[in-house]
Amino acid sequence: MIWNETMECMSREDMRKLQGIRLKKTVERVYHNCEPYRKRMQEKGITPTDIQTIDDIVKLPFTSKKDLRDYYPFGLLSSPMSEIVRLQASSGTTGKPIVVGYTRNDLNIWGEVGARCFTAYGLGKNDVVQVSYGYGLFTGGLGAHGAVETIGGAVIPMSSGNTEKQIMLMHDFGAVGLACTPSYALYLADALLDSGIPREEFKLKVGAFGAEPWTEGMRKELEEKLGIKAYDLYGLTEIIGPGVGHECQHQNGTHLCEDHFYPEIVHPETGEPVPPGEMGELVFSTITKDGMPLLRFRTRDLTSLDYSVCTCGRTSVRMGRILGRCDDMLIIRGVNVFPSQVESVICEIPQLEPHYLLIVDRINNLDTFEVQVEMKEDFYSDEVSKMLDLRKQIAHRLQNVLGISPDVKLVEPRSIERSQGKAKRVIDKRIFK
Ligand code: DLL
């Protein structure tokens, strides 16, 4: 099934025309309503009249995560606060989150693109869908929620955690769809086995998995363990959240909703467009959003684009799997974590040295996260209760800043390896698995 055949199956020529019209309108909007954009364009010597077709997009300056931090919290809005009806956020490198404001129209667009995704997965108004992405500032929960409501399905707003209850409701409510991170899905798959309830008693058929990179191997595991078809769901906070792209029944690339989010692939260092089909950094321009449109946003995600028509009939461009990111952001249990966030917490606590190591692993299909940190000589003590209190305090502070609770290990002064050049702050053992 296709949710919006007109848009999803449009000829390439018509799509480019439409993208040009929408881009022009968006450029006018940001130029007149958003000071930082106007300044940037003036510095480049361009005005909205320079943008006539989609090909002119390369004349525009890039935006990056840094811009979102520099203009925190509302400096990049192109609508007055009176028109903003939702604020969502994701972690940034400085401890300050990245904030996105949505107008009513933007939320409608989010519902529309989300509906395209869940329809492509074969779900519809008769289906119960369990949303086990986190609800809150993270776009996963509310984004998938809006998508399921738009197609008329019955949403279980479960959020993440509370595994036993997840299994119970999935069973008792007859969930056909499950939306969560692939790693959490694997964890749930094991919990489902442990529950002792025969798999035939579950109605689960479809998984909508994303928010972190996952492989074909992981897909196979998930499909076998859960007896479902596991589909990719792609998105990022800055652009809208989940719904930027989705797989179809052929599971052969992630269709992008390019009538709303115009994609380009550029060389991660030079920013120059790469030849068609080649791997590079994905860049998006939102061409219909009002609240916080972003032009040429550097996602740091590495992938390639395929413009050939898919067997499903959709003409929308397909993105290959995200190979990774060209920055230092870790995604642990679907949550974005930057080493510098951990550092900022460590530096606030007087008993600690700023020498630390993040050890990330995947054990029993669930990400583990350990923070090793050195004690200052003066505070290092044999008193167990003192050490336990301090560990608790650090873990609590890290949970507040990161939104995820690491296992904190206090280590002896000078025990973490020093470096002559760049410090190695992260050991990500998942890469070798
Ligand atoms: O993760 C939005 C989302 C929620 C997408 C639920 C899908 C499902 P952020 O927290 O801003 O937003 O993280 C965005 O996560 O730039 C990618 O690096 C990564 N990512 C998201 N989806 C996928 C995916 C949400 N399907 C960042 N495959 C992105 C690989 C993904 N990486």
* CATH number of the domain enclosing 154: 3.40.50.12780
> What are the residue ranges in the chain where pLDDT is below 50?
421-422
Testing ligand 1's pocket by substitution, the residue of 234, 254, 286, 323 carrying the most ligand atoms inside 8 A of its CB is 234
End-to-end CA distance of the chain: 36
pLDDT of residue 423: 66
pLDDT of residue 326: 74
Q: How far is the CA of 411 from the centre of ligand 1 (A)?
A: 34
Spatial strand order of the sheet with 366-375 comes to 407-411, 366-375, 352-363, 426-428
pLDDT of residue 421: 38
- Whichever domain contains 336, its CATH number is 3.30.300.30
pLDDT of residue 324: 66
Ligand 1 atom having least distance to the Cα of 98 = 11
Q: Are strands 229-236 and 330-332 parallel, antiparallel or unpaired?
A: unpaired
Q: Which of 324, 358, 381 is the last residue of a domain?
A: 324
pLDDT of residue 22: 98
What's the structural domain count of the chain?
2
pLDDT of residue 101: 98
pLDDT of residue 206: 98
Averaged confidence pLDDT in the chain: 93
Q: Which of 324, 356, 385 is the last residue of a domain?
A: 324
Instruction: Fill in the amino acid letter for 17.
Output: K
Q: How far is the CA of 92 from the centre of ligand 1 (A)?
A: 14
Q: Tell me if 115 sits within 8 A of 147, measured CB to CB.
A: yes
Q: Which pTM value belongs to this model?
A: 0.83
Domain range holding 356? 330-432
312 and 348 fall within a common domain: no
160 and 279 fall within a common domain: yes
* 426 φ/ψ sector (left φ>0, alpha ψ -120 to 50, else beta): beta
Q: Which of 300, 324, 348 is the last residue of a domain?
A: 324
pLDDT of residue 92: 53
Identify the three-state secondary structure at position 218.
helix
pLDDT of residue 94: 58
118 and 88 fall within a common domain: yes
pLDDT of residue 420: 53
Testing ligand 1's pocket by substitution, the residue of 212, 219, 236 carrying the most ligand atoms inside 8 A of its CB is 236
Q: Would the CB of 325 count as within 6 Å of ligand 1?
A: yes
Q: Would the CB of 234 count as within 6 Å of ligand 1?
A: yes
Tracing tokens 């060209």 back to the chain, one arrives at 326
